[in-house]
Amino acid sequence: MNLAGKVFIVTGASSGIGEHLSVVLAQKGAQVVCAARRADELTRVIGSIQAAGGSARAVQTDITDLDACRHLMKQTIESYGKLDGLVLNAGVSMWARFEDISDITFFQDLLNVNYLGAVNCCHVALPYLKETKGKIVSCSTAQALMGFPNHSGYVASKHALHGFLATLDMELQGEISILEAVLSWIRGTNLRDNAFGSDGKKHAHSARKHTNESVSLEECVEQIIQAIERDKKTVYIPRKLSMVPLLNTFFQGYLRRKVSGAIDKNES
């Protein structure tokens, strides 16, 4: 896909991967609609894009609200007349063993943002993506493919989204395309700074420092952009994650030991 002149919606565009993806898409000549709940941060992102000569506009959006998603789509079509790409990036995480959680009601928030919010966006965008034979890009995780300690609710929501998009891909083969970016730990995002803890409240978990196996925000976005341009169906970041489906099927014990070791490093 040549990105010049293409119209993209990016959810969760006010920080982290969403912000950097919006900036790079605009640098590549795309027209970007930045969606997020924080209007002040969206204004900052749009200002930096436009100052660099890019084309972008902000639409304050809570993706868990279907009417807000309809408004997002309406504003996009009124501004640019079409939609070529939908980037599902908005998300929220957690860090707690299930048995230690005192209030599990935040699991509904995880589902609402990570899964149902993405479904809302896909539902309103689909007619317009079919017109352009456009693309859905899911900023996913290896945790969508396997179990993962301390992330039970997050894993469940990402499994749901993975299955939903796999089904869409089968139903709409040839009408749209879907790219799943399977990510490991990414430095430079605020996912850990806004994650649910065992008490059911959001806490900063940034004290858990990333190991040297984590990937920088810039490298992550560069690989996602390349995958979009090359019309790939899956991109694993880092590449070694491509072994996860095989290992989870045939060498599950080994994979579990590796994951447990990675968790231990991130706990220290």
Q: Give pLDDT tens digits along the chain (268 positions).
A: 999 999 999 999 999 999 999 999 999 999 999 999 999 999 999 999 999 899 999 999 999 999 999 999 999 999 999 999 999 999 999 999 999 999 999 999 999 999 999 999 999 999 999 999 999 999 999 999 999 999 999 999 999 999 999 999 999 999 999 999 999 989 878 777 789 999 999 887 554 555 667 899 999 999 999 999 999 999 999 999 999 988 888 888 888 888 877 766 655 4
Please provide residue 227's backbone torsions phi and psi, each rounded to the nearest 5 degrees. -65, -35
Residue 34 to residue 20: CA distance in whole angstroms = 11
Q: Which helix (H) or strand (E) holds 262?
A: helix 252-267
- List 80, 115, 128, 154, catalytic entry: 154
Residue 149's nearest CA partner among 258, 246, 254 is 258
Tokens representing residue 111 in the block: 């589902």
Residue 190 to residue 180: CA distance in whole angstroms = 21
pLDDT score for 191:
75
Tokens representing residue 137 in the block: 């890009």
Domains, in order of start, for the chain: 7-243 (3.40.50.720)
pLDDT score for 268:
41
Tokens representing residue 37 in the block: 């709940």
Residue 165 to residue 11: CA distance in whole angstroms = 16
Q: Is 115 a catalytic residue?
A: no
Tokens representing residue 16 in the block: 């982290």
Q: What is the CA radius of gyration of the chain?
A: 18
pLDDT score for 210:
54
What's the whole-model pTM score?
0.92
Please provide residue 176's backbone torsions phi and psi, each rounded to the nearest 5 degrees. -140, 170
